[in-house]
Every structure is written in structure tokens, then in C-alpha cells.
Amino acid sequence: MKGKLLKGFKDWLPQDLIPKNRLLNTIIEVYESYGFVPLETPALEYKATLLGYGEEASKQIYSFVDPENNEVGLRFDLTVPLSRVVSTYKELPKPFKRYQIQPVWRYDKPDPGRFREFTQCDADIVGTDSMDADTEIIAIMNEVLNKLNLKFKIRVNNRKILNGLIRYAGVPENLSYDVFRTIDKLDKQGLENVLLLLGGGREDQSGVFIKGLNLEKAQIAKIEKFLTLPAGSRDEVLSSVGELLEGIPEGEKGIKELEEINNNLNALGIKENVVFDLTLARGLDYYTGPIFEAILEDAPRFGSVMGGGRFDNLIEIFSGEHTPATGASIGVDRLLSAMKFLGKIKERKSVAEVLVTVMVPERKIDYFKVANQLRKAGIKTELYMGTEPSIAKQLKHADSTGIPIAVIIGPEEFERGEVSVKDLRQIEEATKKIKTREEWKKKRPGQVTIKQEELINFIKKLLNKEVNHV
């Protein structure tokens, strides 16, 4: 096994990591523009902490006994550590708005594109039950996806409304979460199958029978009525569910919360990208109020790329005090896959903007100086360090790693105090148009010879960077 990558894990090579880091920087920029502050916690926690919310997580956790005989495990989410931190450091400002971007580990069945270590990217607001907080969470989700130029919808619902539905349908309360988890399958399995699962059950594709919840027909009919309320504007949805759940206090409370969010979103100018969707349930038990999730309209098969909700009773398990909270998590790796699928990712193997080629190795010192000048001017510059003496092959290195510009200084250029600059992007364009070798020689597309002292500004112009006028 020596030298082998562990099964279910992934090496992030430059061509994947460069766009991922760009994506993370966009997310951080948005988070910080709202005043969220960063937090990081250790990978290892006491197993008792990781299981603080229940034994269910146990199956997924990488756990072991450490050399000091503690039962420890690798974190499987960022919500448990948040809860631990909030209950440990009482001096943190309230509300505490933190973001956290760290890997988590889950012993799951690995799928193509699904790994046992993946990056979570959470933003939460702890210590307020104001709907302003939920609005901000929705707003940052909206802004991140806007900045990424994606077509998306953020679906919003409220667990209180779903609790109202349970009451309205006359379903026993202890079945609530089972009903929610069944409703959550609507997207993937369709209404008909969900209704079967609320009733006696159904056969899946491979012929295996899945037991249903055995609700009564009248109960199922009411749930169906709720689930098939017409979609529409946020106002329309609120009005139709308002009629249906009239007189059911929990439902009414949930509707009021969404009304407040609606007013806030209108003030922020956030319109059709955020919809109220009564069929959204989400899987986790711990949500207590508004819940949200984002899907990409052009890549629905990737499912929810961001999601979250309000969890007012969770942190209390650690802190012993009522500590309301709301937040969302971005599935960065999944979002990146979806963007790749949509052709929104430009894969590059290099971050460099310029390659300084080496034609006259004896004058290496001068190439060093040129590279240094460019770097000092804020231009990311790679000095060629391979073993190929041929400039054509050195240019191939630039081309294959996606470095857009190459600088060439041969004996003649040295003599005349000049440099040649090749814009490989222009050359690539030109190869599509120019057919003959003669024409190519005449036009020399994308290649210019200039004075050495013009180099910095010339390249800055090529890269659309601000030019320094001395």
C-alpha cells in the first residue's frame, strides 16, 4: 500500500485546486462583506462531543483510541464544533456570525465524485431568533451564486409550517420526522411514490418492497392537498398556505416568519431567485424554523449545492442555555463539479501569467532579472527551469499549463536591448484562421518585439492590469 492513495480519497491536483480556491475566495469575499468572521477548529474531537447530538452519526465517524487513551474521532460536520466553541467561549459577541471552511470526514460508500474527505463551507449566525439573520443567510447564498454567474433558485420553507401540516393532517406528532423525510424524497421520486410511502409502501426499481408510514387515507389526502398547493410568487404561496393552515398556531407562526423574510428580501431587491416552496422538507431532524436550499437550474441533477436552516434547540445540548441559531452550508466540491459540468470552470495547470523562456543559458542571470522585474510589478511569472533547450518546447510547456504569455530573449534581442513577447491566446485564435505557412510568417500573429523598458506596461496591457504611468 506504500505510495498509494487511500480508497475513497482525492488528491487535489493544481488543475482542480486552482478553480476550487478561486471559488472559495469568492465565497469568503461574500461572507466577509456581511461581516462574518472566520473560525477553525481541530480535526480531532472527543468522540463524546461528536456524538453529542445522537448516536446516529457514529456509523460515519472515523474514530479511534489515541495514544493517551482518549476515544477520539475526525469531525464529520462543522455544526458540532460550532456548538462546542459557542458553549466554551462565553466572551464571543452575540450574535456570533462565523464562517468555517474546513474538511470533514465521513466513512460513506464512496461514489464517483463523492469522497470520504470533503470541504464544508458553513456560515451561521448564533444567538438571535430574528428573521433578519435568516434573511442574511439567504442573501449570502443568493449573492455567492450570483457572483458565480449561475442560474439558480433558492427554495425556502419553514419547519413550523410543516409542523402545522402535521397538525392539519391529524398525523401523530411522533411521526413528524418520518413524514418530513418522506416529503424530502419528492424531488427524486415524484408525488405518486411519496404518497405511496406515506401509505402502505411501494416497490423500488429493483423490486424491493419499501415499507410505508401507514398513514390513514384522509391524512394522506390532506398532505397531498398541501403538497399540491399551486406554486407562484412568494406572496401567492403565503396567501394560499395561509388559508389552508388558518387557525393552526404553529403553521401561522411559520407563515409569519416567512412574511418577515419576504419583506426583508424585497428591501434587498432579491426577487425571483428566491422562491417559497412548501414541498421543501430537508432531511435533518434538528431544524426548527426557516429552511433553505439552492439548486442550479441548468444542472438540477447535482441536487442541492447549498442548504441550511434554523436550528434553535441544537447548541443548547452543549451550552445548556437556549441558543437560537441559523445558517447554511455550501457543498463546495459538489458546486465545483456542477460548474465544471456547465463549462463554467477554466481549468489551468498553472497560476503564472508569464513564462520567461531561456534561450541563452549562459545569460541566466539576465533572465532572472527580467522575471524579477515582472514579479515586482505584480505579474505572476515563471522562469523556465526545465531541461529543454528548444524555445518551441519551452513554449509548449506554457501552452500545456495554460500560461498565456511568453517572453523570449535571444542573442539579438540582448544586443538591441529588446524582448519578444508572445501572446499564446492570440496565437491560438490565429491558428484557427490562418491557413498557410506564408501567411503566418507575414502576419506573425500574437508576437511582438519591443524595447526592454516597455516590457512591464506592454504585458500589463495584455493582461488588462492597471498600467503605471510614470
209 counts as binding its own copies under rule CB under 8 A:
no
Out of 178, 316, 366, 418, name the contact with its own copies by CB under 8 A: 366
- Cα-only R_g, the chain: 28
Nearest to residue 366, comparing CAs of 422, 423, 407, 394? Answer: 407
Residue number with CB closer to its own copies (3 or 247): 3
- Binding segment for its own copies (CB under 8 A), chosen from 189-197, 207-215, 233-241, 382-390, is 382-390
Site residues for its own copies, 6-65, by CB under 8 A, read 6-7, 9-14, 17-18, 21, 32-46, 48-49, 52, 62, 64-65
365 counts as binding its own copies under rule CB under 8 A:
yes
Nearest distance from residue 79's CB to its own copies, in Å? Answer: 14
Out of 120, 135, 219, 357, name the contact with its own copies by CB under 8 A: 135
For residues 312 and 158, the answer to whether their CB atoms sit within 8 Å is no
Out of 225, 271, 369, 425, name the contact with its own copies by CB under 8 A: 369
Nearest distance from residue 2's CB to its own copies, in Å? Answer: 4
Residue number with CB closer to its own copies (97 or 159): 97
236 counts as binding its own copies under rule CB under 8 A:
no
* Alpha-carbon span 257 to 261, nearest angstrom: 6
393 counts as binding its own copies under rule CB under 8 A:
no
Site residues for its own copies, 87-116, by CB under 8 A, read 87-89, 92-95, 97-98, 103, 105, 107
Beta pairing partners, 101: 121
Q: Classify each residue of 222-259 as buried b or exposed e, where b means 16 or more C-beta atoms within 10 Å of its C-beta.
A: bbeebbeeeeeebeebbebbbebbeebebbbebbebbb
Number of residues that bind its own copies (CB under 8 A): 98
346 counts as binding its own copies under rule CB under 8 A:
no
**What contacts 460, CB < 8 A, 6 or more positions away?**
377, 379, 466, 467, 468
Out of 199, 201, 242, 378, name the contact with its own copies by CB under 8 A: 378
468 counts as binding its own copies under rule CB under 8 A:
no
Query: For residue 408, what is the enclosing H or E element?
Result: strand 405-408
Out of 122, 124, 136, 413, name the contact with its own copies by CB under 8 A: 136
Out of 58, 228, 239, 372, name the contact with its own copies by CB under 8 A: 372
Query: For residue 336, what is the enclosing H or E element?
Result: helix 332-341
- Binding segment for its own copies (CB under 8 A), chosen from 130-138, 169-177, 290-298, 440-448, is 130-138
Q: Long-range contacts of range 10-15, CB-CB < 8 Å, 24 or more positions apart?
A: 10/115, 10/117, 14/348, 14/349, 14/350, 14/351, 15/347, 15/348, 15/349
Nearest to residue 126, comparing CAs of 88, 93, 98, 96? Answer: 96
* Alpha-carbon span 467 to 456, nearest angstrom: 8
Residue number with CB closer to its own copies (31 or 180): 31
